[in-house]
């Protein structure tokens, strides 16, 4: 269910290639279609011609808790300056889990450097 079904339906008649290194295959990919949708870093796409953009990254801490429910929702955002994380995700609430334990993930902002996953 969820987003997978929505995306599959949206792309039903569209050829999709995953796990392809765009930059290793750039000429071939750009020649293969009238339009190519690039969803990576725009400064990298232009070979850092105008410099490197300042991205932010994230760090995740996962915890298994010996309780059925931690926060009652899949995602709770935290905007208080005193709290170091920006959100807590309780995974079981995405698919109506009924396990005796629960898994949460705390999401922390992190500085970005090349090689890290850029999030913002």
List, for residues 17-52, the tens digit of each pLDDT value: 788 899 999 999 899 888 888 888 999 999 999 998
Domain-embedded: residue 59: yes
Per the domain annotation, does 120 fall within a domain?
no
CA 46 to chain centre: 22
pTM across the whole model:
0.69
Q: Indicate the pLDDT class of residue 73, thresholds 50, 70 and 90.
A: very high
Range of the domain at 74: 3-111
Which of these, 102, 115, 58, 56, lies nearest to 84 by C-alpha position? 58
> Into how many domains does the chain fold?
1
The mean pLDDT of the chain is 91
Residue 25 placed within a domain: yes
Angle among Cα 9, 88, 60 to the nearest 5 degrees reads 85
What pLDDT is attached to residue 89? 98
Is it the case that residue 54 has pLDDT exceeding 90?
no
pLDDT at residue 119, rounded to an integer: 85
- Which of the residue ranges 68-72, 92-96, 106-110 would you say has the lowest mean pLDDT? 92-96
Instruction: With respect to residue 119, please indicate whether it lies within any of the assigned structural domains.
Output: no
Q: Is residue 95 domain-resident? A: yes
Angle CA 62–107–69, to nearest 5: 55
């Amino acid at each position: 269910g969820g987003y997978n079904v929505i995306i599959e339906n949206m792309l039903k008649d569209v050829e999709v290639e995953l796990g392809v290194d765009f930059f290793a295959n750039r000429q071939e990919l750009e020649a293969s279609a009238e339009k190519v949708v690039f969803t990576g870093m725009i400064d990298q796409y232009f070979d850092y011609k105008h410099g490197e953009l300042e991205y932010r990254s994230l760090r995740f801490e996962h915890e298994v808790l010996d309780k059925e429910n931690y926060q009652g929702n899949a995602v709770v955002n935290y905007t208080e300056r005193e709290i170091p994380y920006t959100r807590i995700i309780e995974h079981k609430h995405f698919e109506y889990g009924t396990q005796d334990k629960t898994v949460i993930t705390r999401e922390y902002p992190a500085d970005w450097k090349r090689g890290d996953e850029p999030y913002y």
